[in-house]
Chains A and B, each alone.
Chain A
Amino acid sequence: MDGSVGGGRPDANGKEDSVTPGQGSGTAPDDARSTNGSSGAAGRSRARSGGADLDTLGRVTGRIRDSIEKVIEGKPEVAKLALVVLLSDGHLLIEDVPGVGKTMLSKALARSIDCTVRRIQFTPDLLPSDVTGVSIFNQDTRQFEFRPGGIFANIVVGDEINRASPKTQSALLECMEEKQVTVDGTTYSLDSPFMVIATQNPIEMEGTYALPEAQRDRFMARVSMGYPVEAAEIAMLDTHTGANPLDDLEPVADASEIRKLIDIVGQVYVSEPVQRYAVAISTATRRSAELMLGASPRATLHLVRAAKASAAIAGRDYVLPDDVQELAVQVLSHRLLTTVEASMSGRTPEAALRQIVAGVPMPESRRAAT
């Protein structure tokens, strides 16, 4: 499936990247395709003795993190979360005030990986076809020809996603979930890895279309950049005033490697108590008096997948409850809605969720109690 659809994707479009001008990445997708099948099989076969794979994963992720942290100073946890989302085949929503480096983060991540990257600036007049692509009539061949839209890339940076019309948003979100595009009755599959990094500005909400809950649910995690600490900001002044640090960024991994890593993450073992723990957290959000809308089963799925990625990054081939606990707030909080009473008293979903997570007992203790 990968091969057949990927063949229809013109490499030239990959170079029409608004972020990486003049980068010699034209052959990278080909390499990725050629190694894809073998690496996946190898990953599965070595699942039991995953030591070497985990070492590879640790090395690659370490390189990517270092690379990102060259640009984004003093935010290792954000960088890690971006990696976790990448490795667990999810999408990331970055939400913060302007100017804290949302776009910089996504660009840094994209630049660190040698793969196709596109950036779509969402505006109110952006059309769905701008995202998915459009069939145009070729006068030479007298045939309709599909011109892929901005979504056809390994990493898609959707900037200010809440400024686009709901119609456009939903076009993007369909692609995110299905990993395919359907135009004029033809379905085009998207290349793997496929990751959407959307940014959103929570203030300046005038003239924007806030993402509805159903669409926010498709993002695996939401992260807030937050302001840097003073030292990081001073360091940032040093590096960023002279030259654009992104220019110095060299790719440290390529798409095929990332695909391999995603495969390795898929092999991480989730024990039954950990599964129960994840479900217990989701159930607790559904029963909380403070929350109107709890976590969906997809949220639980995302939580466990993210936990697997996190465990793999930590060099383990098994998930700990600690992984789930750590990621719960980032993975779940953007899907929750507080009740009117709770929000009136200033409770944010994050705060409510933190309390819930602290209250859910470990699966072992419950087993011991019964």
Chain B
Amino acid sequence: MRARSDVRPQTLVTSLLAALTTWVTLLAWTPFAEVPGGFMVPLLGGCLLVAVVGILLRSVRLPALLVLLGQVVVVFVWLQHRLAADAAFAGLVPTPGSLRAMAGAVHAAAAVSQSYAAPVPATAPQFYPLLIVAGSAAALLVDFLAVGIRRPPLAGLPLLAAYTAPVSILDGGVSWVKFAAAAVCFLFLIAGGEEERLTGWGRQLTAGASAIDVAGGVAPGHAVWASARKIGFTATALAVLVPVLLPTFSASLFGGGGAGGHGNGDAVSISNPMVDLKRDLVRGADVDAIEETTTDPDPSYLRISVLDSFDGDAWRPAGRDIPSKQRADGALPQPPGLVSGVASRTYTARLKVSDSFQSRWLPTPYPTTSLKAPGDWRYDRSTMDFISAAEGQTTAGLSYRLRSEVLSPTAAQLADASPAPLSVYTPNTALPAHIPGYVRNLARTVTAGRLTRFEQAVALQQFFRVNGGFRYSLERSPGNGTSDLLRFLGTGKGSRVGYCEQFAASMALMGRTLGIPSRVAVGFLRPDRIRADTYVYSTHDLHAWPEMYFGGVGWVRFEPTPAARTGGGVPSYTTQQIPRTPTTQARSLPSAAASANRLGRTDPAQAAAAQQSGGTSSRRRVLLASAGAGLLAVLLLLAPRALRTLVRRRRWAAARDPAGWVEAAWREIQDTATDLSIPWDDRVTLRSAAQQLAVSFGRTDDSDPAGARRGPAADPAATAALHRLTGLLERARYARELPEGTTTLEEVMGDVALCVAAMRAGARRRRQLLATWAPRSLLSRLGVGRRTDAGGPTSGVGGVDRTVASNTR
């Protein structure tokens, strides 16, 4: 150990490179806070401190562990100086008070990190120590692994851990620039380590440098570094480019890419709308986001994006299908599901987004019939939300015109809605596997007695707004996963308190459990009027609401969030009375009732009986299935043997004349040989084949104890039969003819039986069983087992050339 820790210029380079790599990798943490400089600058100091202390300690040839210890001490003192200088003695020497203060600072940081979603606002600088401590620990580990014990590849583990943190916490990953920089640094770190290891084997002799030139040390590195550069840059470039070039377009790829880089405190960036929602809502300052000039006298609900996929952890935008022809520069297609007959009014509007509102999604009312926006914005046909298709393009400062409709469907229309087509129904009622039964039961209880899907939806909305006893509060931590929603919907302590996110997500989830196509929309709720026809949406207007699909109308907005927040407004159609035909009539026409969007109602007793019988029948089905499977297994077991017998029968039946009988006999013997794994070469003459076969004959009767156990002498009768068969076959194949009456089918079959018996007698017991139950000849009939030799010296294309060549030689 001591001998290895001498200091060379390479150690110096490696130490600094390790520090640099650590810091560049930690750049991935910048999206954690709105002002990343608050911890990145101290971290740079920390990394350098680790490197410098390491270099110094190694220069006096301390063992690696001692070096690490020294570094830990120095870094600890430095941290303590930063965090608790007041309590420490002379600002440097730790005292119990300073230690307590340090622990307190870290705890406070942890608490802040719990209560804020990333990025943590600049108003909470208590958050930084956590990152500084963690980053310093990473720097220490990397330095120890890469320089101390000279295993740079191992240093990848702490680096990977540091890199994973933002990737897993922040939805959308890390900018590719940061990834590439970190990857290149790490690869160079490895290359440096490898070069050092290589020089341990002695130096390369080059033309210019003499072998005794001790001062060199650069020469061997050239080749190493050249290859390292090539490999490193290629690998990094591939890692960055390949995902981009792949044909799928994930909404989070570019959205995530742009999110991290904007460090200025005033920006309102939207990548995952739901994640940003809470932060923007609780932010102290109400930032103006969008100014709308519209002909609509009462604009509201400006939609940013649609979260149409629920995976149990969160509602997320599903992958968007945005071919280039779906550019938002003119008329847009009819919104899905909407047919004429729904009352609507059309308005034109001009929207101007402020410079501080950065979003990958274009805020638009729903439904929009035409839109002209500068840049490359594309829409997805099913969600009709608009996403930036150009990297780095956001809404900041954007100004665009659109024409939109305000639909006023009636409750009757919605109640009579046609069922959703499968293309809408399947993705929008999809639920993860582990939805708690509580949610389903609650949904069923709340909507009990409602006849149509629409009435169920209205009942759900009513449940959230009035009946359920929910309270609107921003105090609640964000989250819309299954567990969050379960807590929100539950009845225990801290339940039924939340803000729009939970309300919208819960209603959509419960809608899905009832089979209503549902999704969550995120956007602005209601603007403030600043001039006659000009309104301003601010960040405090951000909102989430559920949308549900009803055939004939399309996606319809609901408002489960209590009036305390939304100002009492619910969509008018949810309060209308549904004109209803008398229930008796509906009862008498169950088929009609079950069609359309009505729910087929069955008598509870009947339903229970059905369930009961379903239970027994399912048990019976299991029994039947297992019996069937068993039968199938038995059949499968029997199949090869039966097939083999069938093959034999058909073979004999197909033969009509002596020649056919003999050929059939020979093939039967050949197949039996294959079954018994007796070697068989069909390239030799019949006599040779028969001779080889007779070698594996076994004795069939034990009357003569002195006789041979195997071979032609073991069963003379069978050998004679085989020779008879061979002779007949030779005549059948090579003589002019095999006259009728030369032999009889019975004779041939008798000879075959003798041969087969002798062959079986000569085989092992296991082979016999296999031949009976799993005959291999069936495989060779399929062309699997037996080689079909097309080669041989007689065929082949090169032959003529070769002959010509050898003749001209």
Contacts and interface: CB of A to CB of B under 8 A. Distances in A.
B733 interface: yes
Given A287-B803, A292-B806, A271 B685 contact: no
A340 to B, nearest CB: 9
Contact of B733 (A273, A284, A294, A369): A273
B792 A359 contact: yes
B806 A322 contact: no
Interface in A141-168: none
Contacts of B789: 361, 365, 369
Contacts of A126: none
Which of A317, A320, A361 has the most chain B CB within a 10 Å cutoff?
Answer: A361
Contacts of B799: 283, 286-287
Given A271-B733, A356-B793, A325 B685 contact: yes
Given A48-B736, A288-B793, 7 more contacts: A269-B736, A291-B806, A320-B734, A325-B685, A339-B809, A360-B793, A361-B683
Contact of B682 (A293, A319, A360, A365): A365
Interface in A319-370: 319-322, 325, 339, 356, 359-362, 364-366, 368-369
A319 B735 CA distance: 7
B703 interface: no
Q: Interface extent on B, as a size class?
A: 20 to 34
B620 interface: no
Nearest to B805: A289
Contacts of A289: 802, 806
A280 interface: yes
21 contacts: A269-B736, A271-B735, A280-B794, A283-B794, A284-B792, A287-B794, A287-B803, A317-B736, A318-B730, A320-B685, A320-B687, A321-B685, A321-B734, A322-B688, A325-B685, A361-B792, A361-B794, A362-B683, A364-B686, A365-B682, A365-B789
Given A317-B735, A359-B792, A292 B685 contact: no
A287 B802 contact: yes
Nearest to B683: A361
A239 B807 CA distance: 51
A273 B796 contact: no
A72 interface: no
A289 B807 CA distance: 11
Nearest to A318: B735
B731 interface: yes
Contacts of B646: none
A365 B683 contact: yes
B733 A364 contact: yes
Interface in B672-704: 682-688
A92 interface: no
B423 interface: no
A320 B799 CA distance: 27
Interface string B725-743: 0000011011110000000
A274 interface: yes
Contact of A318 (B682, B731, B800, B807): B731
Contacts of A280: 794
B588 to A, nearest CB: 75
Contacts of B792: 284, 359-361, 366
Contacts of A325: 685
B794 to A, nearest CB: 4
A48 B803 CA distance: 41
Interface in A267-318: 269, 271, 273-274, 280, 283-284, 286-289, 291-294, 316-318
Contacts of A286: 799, 803
Interface string B780-809: 000000001110111010011011001101
B793 A368 contact: no
B166 to A, nearest CB: 65
Contacts of A339: 806, 809
A280 B790 CA distance: 13
Nearest to A274: B734
Interface in B733-756: 733-736
Interface of A: 48, 269, 271, 273-274, 280, 283-284, 286-289, 291-294, 316-322, 325, 339, 356, 359-362, 364-366, 368-369
Nearest to A279: B794
A219 B324 CA distance: 85
Nearest to B792: A361
Which of B792, B800, B807 has the most chain A CB within a 10 Å cutoff?
Answer: B792
Contacts of A294: 803
Which of A321, A325, A339 has the most chain B CB within a 10 Å cutoff?
Answer: A321
Nearest to A337: B806
B373 to A, nearest CB: 69
A287 B796 contact: yes
A280 B730 CA distance: 19
A26 to B, nearest CB: 42
A322 B789 CA distance: 20
Contacts of A366: 792
A286 to B, nearest CB: 5
Contacts of A320: 685-687, 730, 734
B735 A269 contact: yes
A291 B809 CA distance: 11
A36 B427 CA distance: 101
Contact of A368 (B682, B734, B790): B682
Contacts of B807: 292-293
Interface string B363-392: 000000000000000000000000000000
Contacts of B687: 320, 322
Nearest to A317: B735
B685 A362 contact: yes
A365 B667 CA distance: 12
A322 B685 contact: yes
Contact of A273 (B734, B736, B790, B802): B734
A278 to B, nearest CB: 11
Contact of A360 (B730, B734, B788, B794): B794
Which of A287, A316, A369 has the most chain B CB within a 10 Å cutoff?
Answer: A287
Q: Which 6 pairs of residues, A with B, have the shortest CB-CB distance?
A: A318-B735, A287-B799, A284-B793, A361-B683, A365-B682, A280-B794
Given A287-B799, A362-B685, A365-B682, A318 B734 contact: yes
A116 to B, nearest CB: 36
A292 B794 CA distance: 16
A354 to B, nearest CB: 13
Nearest to B806: A292
B168 to A, nearest CB: 61
A269 B684 CA distance: 21
Contacts of B800: 287
Contacts of A283: 793-794, 799
A351 B532 CA distance: 110
A364 B803 CA distance: 26
B593 to A, nearest CB: 69
B793 A359 contact: yes
A319 B734 CA distance: 7
A68 B685 CA distance: 31
Contacts of B803: 286-287, 294
Nearest to B801: A287
Contacts of A316: 735
Contacts of A361: 682-683, 789, 792, 794
Nearest to A325: B685
Nearest to B790: A369
A321 B734 CA distance: 9
Given A286-B803, A287-B796, A339-B806, A362 B682 contact: yes
Interface in B570-619: none
A269 B737 CA distance: 10
A359 B796 CA distance: 14
Which of B684, B788, B794 has the most chain A CB within a 10 Å cutoff?
Answer: B794
A77 B430 CA distance: 88
A319 B730 CA distance: 9
Contacts of B806: 289, 291-292, 339
A291 B806 CA distance: 8
Which of A293, A356, A362 has the most chain B CB within a 10 Å cutoff?
Answer: A362
